């Protein structure tokens, strides 16, 4: 950063001010791609910039310098890397890509998280699909009975003529091949990603990285394997006809040196590392549940149909809770993930008291939605529950589920920790999930939660 660089710090769904000259200098496409709303009240000199669903860092070149936008989650101390580890390899891709191949974040994490490994593997895969090509390299070959290129005279006399093998002639020549130093380093980056994936704590994330590496490696079938040693690096080039390798090659070299992220601005003008938080939370929760040996996710989606007076079907719509969970006993649990800061102190009519001097705010629409899901004919007596994120402090225990009564069987509200201690609290979350799904007769006593009514 230099004196003309500008950092705009935002929190998801909270606005901040930005001078008019900077707004005018930044391309409109940048605000569109980052899902940032830029508005100004008549009579005011400053613009209001509001971040929507994306969290992370985006940076763009302008005539006034570099503008870096840092967007933090609305949930305090939310560990997005924890969520990303479980989200990758699920149904949807929560990592949003802007033009450019490099990742830029405000805090480098040393752990080889799946999202960072996948970012790099996918960058190499995309590059190879477009740019990987044969190039001229200088090699030494032992030719038999013919000459091509230039003869290595000294070697020919000492190694061949002296041994009565005058028909074998060592020649130095140029040939076209994919086995170039640049391509060798890119392949080494893929191999390193596959190796580091073995250390990922989430089996689903390990599978996702391996799948991405296996999809990219066939493009490098004619490229030799190297370790990425200093000797290997000396042969690389990013000048002349190899200049298009510059960005991905520098990122790969840094990756081989243990730097999983880069803080340098890419040559394309925009770099970003942005997550769609609603998708990230939903897919991370799917990953957590799918890794449980006691629970199984169903993927089929039922529909609700509209019929006319004669009973003819006219239209239909999906009845699609986020997760349909089945236990080994055959019990069904319908879950909806709600990426909302429910655990907060606020004045509202929709409040439920939560142990630990917290309040939770649950919109009535969330309850009504789950009540409707639970009535579908596909599921026989399912349990319905809403899952909200919460960031627990050190020493705090994951709250037991609460009940909302008045819609037949209780609808449950419970939490999953996404803060610094998220991994330690996962077993308790899964215990709550299994207990709810089994729907045992003494579920209320097991949950130790008093019933609460809305409004």
Return the closest-CA partner of residue 285 out of 448, 125, 426.
426
> What distance separates the 2 farthest-apart alpha carbons in the chain?
102
Closest among 281, 288, 287 to 342, alpha carbons compared? 281
Are the C-beta atoms of 20 and 39 separated by less than 8 Å?
A: no
- CB distance 427 to 319 below 8 Å: no
Cα(223)–Cα(228) distance, integer angstroms: 13
What is the rounded average pLDDT of the residues 195-204?
88
- Intra-chain end-to-end CA distance of the chain, in Å: 52
Distance (Å, rounded) from C-alpha 379 to C-alpha 319? 11
pLDDT beyond 60 at 185: yes
pLDDT at 451: 43
Among candidates 336, 211, 209, which has minimal Cα distance to 285? 336
**Is the pLDDT confidence value at 441 over 50?**
no
d(CA 88, CA 344) in angstroms, rounded, equals 29
Specify whether the CB–CB gap between 278 and 339 falls below 8 A.
yes
Residue 442, pLDDT > 70, answer no
Q: How confident is the model at residue 269 (pLDDT cuts 50, 70, 90)?
A: low
Q: Which residues contact 190 (CB under 8 A, 6 or more apart)?
A: 121, 124, 213, 216, 217, 220
Alpha helices in 132-275 (DSSP H): 153-155, 181-197, 203-216, 230-234, 246-256
Q: CB-based contacts of 388: which residues, under 8 Å, 6+ apart?
A: 338, 340, 342, 343, 360, 362, 413, 414, 415, 416
In this prediction, residue 342 carries a pLDDT of: 74
Q: What CA–CA distance (Å, rounded) separates 220 from 213? A: 11
Give the model's pLDDT for residue 3: 44
Residue located via tokens 């508005």: 39
CA distances from 86 to 132, 226, 280, 287, 433 (A): 32, 31, 9, 5, 17
Round to whole Å and give the CA distance between 271 and 305.
Answer: 46
| Average pLDDT of every residue of the chain | 82
Partners of 323 in the beta sheet?
335
Rounded distance, CA 437 to CA 53, Å? 31
**Where does the pLDDT of residue 412 fall: very low under 50, low under 70, confident under 90, or very high at 90 and above?**
very high
Q: Strand pairing of 168-177 and 135-144?
A: antiparallel
Calpha distance 215→451 (Å, rounded): 51
The band of 133, judged by pLDDT with boundaries at 50, 70 and 90, is low
- Determine the distance from the C-alpha atom of residue 318 to the mean position of all C-alpha atoms in its chain, rounded to a whole number: 27
In the block, which residue shows the tokens 């013919």?
146
Q: Tell me, rounded to whole angstroms, the distance of Cα 248 from its chain centroid.
A: 19
How far apart are alpha carbons 39 and 24 in whole angstroms? Answer: 12
Which pLDDT tens digit goes with each residue over 243-266? 888 888 888 888 888 877 655 555
């Amino acid at each position: 950063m230099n004196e003309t660089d500008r950092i705009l710090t935002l929190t998801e769904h909270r606005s901040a001010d930005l001078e008019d000259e900077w707004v005018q200098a930044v391309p409109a496409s940048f605000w569109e791609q980052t899902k940032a709303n830029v508005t100004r009240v008549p009579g005011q000199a400053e613009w209001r910039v509001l971040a929507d669903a994306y969290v992370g860092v985006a940076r763009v070149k302008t005539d006034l310098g570099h503008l870096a936008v840092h967007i933090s989650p609305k949930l305090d101390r939310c560990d997005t890397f924890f969520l990303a580890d479980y989200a990758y390899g699920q149904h949807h891709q929560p990592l949003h890509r802007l033009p450019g191949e490099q990742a830029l974040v405000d805090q480098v994490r040393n752990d080889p998280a799946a999202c960072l490994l996948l970012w790099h593997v996918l960058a190499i895969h995309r590059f190879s699909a477009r740019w990987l090509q044969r190039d001229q390299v200088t090699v030494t070959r032992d030719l038999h009975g013919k000459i091509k290129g230039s003869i290595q005279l000294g070697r020919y006399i000492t190694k061949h003529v002296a041994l009565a093998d005058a028909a074998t002639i060592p020649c130095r020549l140029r040939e076209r091949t994919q086995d170039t130093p640049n391509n060798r380093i890119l392949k080494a980056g893929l191999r390193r990603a596959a190796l580091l994936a073995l250390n990922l704590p989430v089996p689903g994330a390990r599978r996702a990285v391996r799948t991405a590496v296996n999809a990219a490696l066939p493009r490098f079938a004619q490229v030799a394997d190297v370790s990425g040693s200093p000797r290997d690096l000396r042969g690389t080039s990013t000048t002349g006809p190899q200049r298009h390798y510059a960005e991905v090659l520098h990122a790969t070299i840094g990756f081989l040196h243990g730097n999983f992220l880069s803080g340098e601005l890419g040559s394309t003008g925009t770099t970003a590392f942005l997550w769609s938080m609603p998708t990230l939370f939903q897919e991370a929760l799917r990953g957590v549940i799918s890794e449980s040996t006691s629970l199984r996710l169903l993927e089929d989606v039922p529909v609700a149909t509209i019929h006319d007076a004669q009973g003819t079907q006219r239209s239909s719509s999906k009845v699609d809770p986020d997760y349909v969970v089945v236990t080994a006993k055959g019990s069904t649990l319908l879950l909806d993930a709600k990426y909302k800061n429910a655990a907060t102190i606020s004045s509202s009519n929709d409040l439920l008291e939560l142990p630990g001097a917290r309040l939770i705010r649950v919109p009535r629409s969330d309850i009504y939605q789950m009540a409707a899901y639970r009535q579908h004919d596909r599921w026989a007596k399912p349990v319905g529950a809403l899952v909200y994120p919460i960031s627990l402090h050190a020493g705090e225990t994951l709250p037991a589920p609460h009940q909302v009564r008045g819609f037949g069987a209780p609808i449950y509200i419970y939490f999953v920790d996404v803060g610094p201690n998220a991994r330690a609290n996962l077993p308790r979350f899964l215990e709550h999930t299994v207990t709810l799904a089994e729907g045992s007769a003494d579920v209320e006593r097991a949950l130790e939660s008093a019933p609460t009514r809305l409004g």
